[in-house]
Amino acid sequence: MDIRYRPETGCAAQADRRHDLLTATAPPAERWLLIESRVPWPRQALTSLQPSPWLGDEVARRCRSLGIRPVLIRRHGRTDQTQPRRWALVDSRPTQESIHWGDLPTDEHLLQILNNIHAQDRMAAEQRLQPGAASEHRARTAAEPRMRGGSAVETPPASAGELADRPAGAGEAADPRGERVLAAEPRVGAGSAATTAAASAGAEADRPSAAGEVVGPPAGAGEGVGERVAAGEAAGLAAGARADAGQAGAGVGAWSGEPVYLVCRHGRHDACCAVWGRPVAGALASVYPERTWECSHIGGDRFAANVVVLPHSLFYGHVSPARALEVARRYDEREVVPELLRGSGAFVPPVQAAQDFARAAGHSLAVGNLRPRSVEALSDNRWRILLASTNGPLTVEVSAHLDTVDARLTCAGSSPAQIRRFELHHLSLDPPPDP
């Protein structure tokens, strides 16, 4: 039996022939840690961090606790080895979209960076508890420079629990309410309609890392690095505590107004990503060399070539080289390309689906529009979502269903498998409230 990879029979080509829907397939990604790496990437990408695989496990563990998605990045083509490696912290949370860059002397420096992020998160949480903190935060946010391609509509943030994009059929049973599940309380900003139920599609709390890393050290492994981790912990937290949490990016890199285009090229994870991602990365790099990076696994191999536009965590699938340039151009114009959009990782899949149905009904394509104001779970697989739009508040009801297909959803996956599909039940433009 010939099992050699062929692009025309790979998972991406099969998904394209099946007309698999892109709708609401973006995996959770509210914050990102981009790590420039110039070595070959193994299937579990973070295990390539030096000096020991234990370092990758530790980075993945800390990122998980901070709600950060770590991915490795590299330039397309040859890299100038004389230039320092880079890292970036990307925040994709509504109204907080930002990118901060820094130099990466060694992989172990990532532990210091994560310590600083942890300390800053803690200080920010403490500040939010102080009287008047909310109004001060709004004033500071309004005064900060806006990202190119930034928000067109300013509404209170409201994100909910997250569903990971990992199809069933690859060694795990699907939850009937959603393929993989993360349950969390939605954050509803001040002034929103009401406090709502969590928009979770199940109860399993498990945030996978971007490259599927196992988080947690193997027994007896990494003692040497572990000592350095412990030594750096106190120093890093102390340095982070001294950082001014009132200034964007203090202690966690320098702010950048340029967006980032990630193209998945993780061939050892899935061959389709390498084959279809290469020409897309080349096309983007030829026009936007500073914005474009190849990256490790981001989910949705069957949608290769996959492109992510940061800081808004806009996932695009089945992107051709020509259409990749269109995605970049439209982002500069503060618009999405709906027919290629898988969704924004800043929102849970039910919200992604509601946004997609609203755009299909003719509502705004603006980046930052159609933010969720509330998410209400009507049943295990049905939600009512209130979206803020330039036309007024939109009420959308959607449900999730699992379809069984006799196909492999990744090149290394098994068959049959299950695909989540969303159905629209109601969409209406709510009348304005009575004066």
The full DSSP string for 61-80 is: HHHHHHT-EEEEEE-SS---
**CB-based burial label for 338 (10 Å; 0-12, 13-18, 19+):** middle
User: Amino acid identity of 221?
Assistant: A
Please indicate, yes or no, if residue 434 is contained in any of the structural domains.
no
pLDDT at residue 136, rounded to an integer:
56
Please indicate, yes or no, if residue 435 is contained in any of the structural domains.
no
DSSP codes of every residue in 212-223? -PPPSPPTT--H
Low-confidence stretches of the chain (pLDDT < 50) are 1, 139-250, 432
Please indicate, yes or no, if residue 106 is contained in any of the structural domains.
yes
pLDDT at residue 407, rounded to an integer:
85
pLDDT at residue 25, rounded to an integer:
97
Domain that holds residue 117: 7-429
- Start-to-end Cα distance in the chain: 72
pLDDT at residue 108, rounded to an integer:
95
In the sheet that 394-405 helps form, which strands lie side by side, from edge to edge? Answer: 371-379, 382-388, 394-405, 417-429
Number of compact structural domains in the chain? 1
Please indicate, yes or no, if residue 53 is contained in any of the structural domains.
yes
Please indicate, yes or no, if residue 239 is contained in any of the structural domains.
yes
Helix ranges restricted to H, 302-404: 321-332, 349-360
pLDDT at residue 413, rounded to an integer:
84
Please indicate, yes or no, if residue 2 is contained in any of the structural domains.
no
Say if CB 411 and CB 11 are below 8 A apart. yes
Torsional class of 318: left (φ above 0), alpha (ψ -120 to 50), beta (otherwise): left
Cα torsion 331, 337, 343, 344 to 10°: value is 10
3-state helix, strand, coil in the chain (%, to 5): 30, 20, 50
The Cα–Cα gap between 270 and 191 comes to 45
Which residue in 149, 59, 144, 143 sits closest to 104, CA to CA? 59
Please indicate, yes or no, if residue 346 is contained in any of the structural domains.
yes
Q: Count other C-beta atoms under 10 Å from residue 403's C-beta.
A: 11
pLDDT at residue 267, rounded to an integer:
76
**CB-based burial label for 19 (10 Å; 0-12, 13-18, 19+):** exposed
pLDDT at residue 310, rounded to an integer:
99
Please indicate, yes or no, if residue 1 is contained in any of the structural domains.
no
pLDDT at residue 177, rounded to an integer:
30
Spell out a b/e string for 287-308, using b for 16 or more CB atoms within 10 Å of the CB, else e: ebeebbbbbbbbbbbbbbbbbb
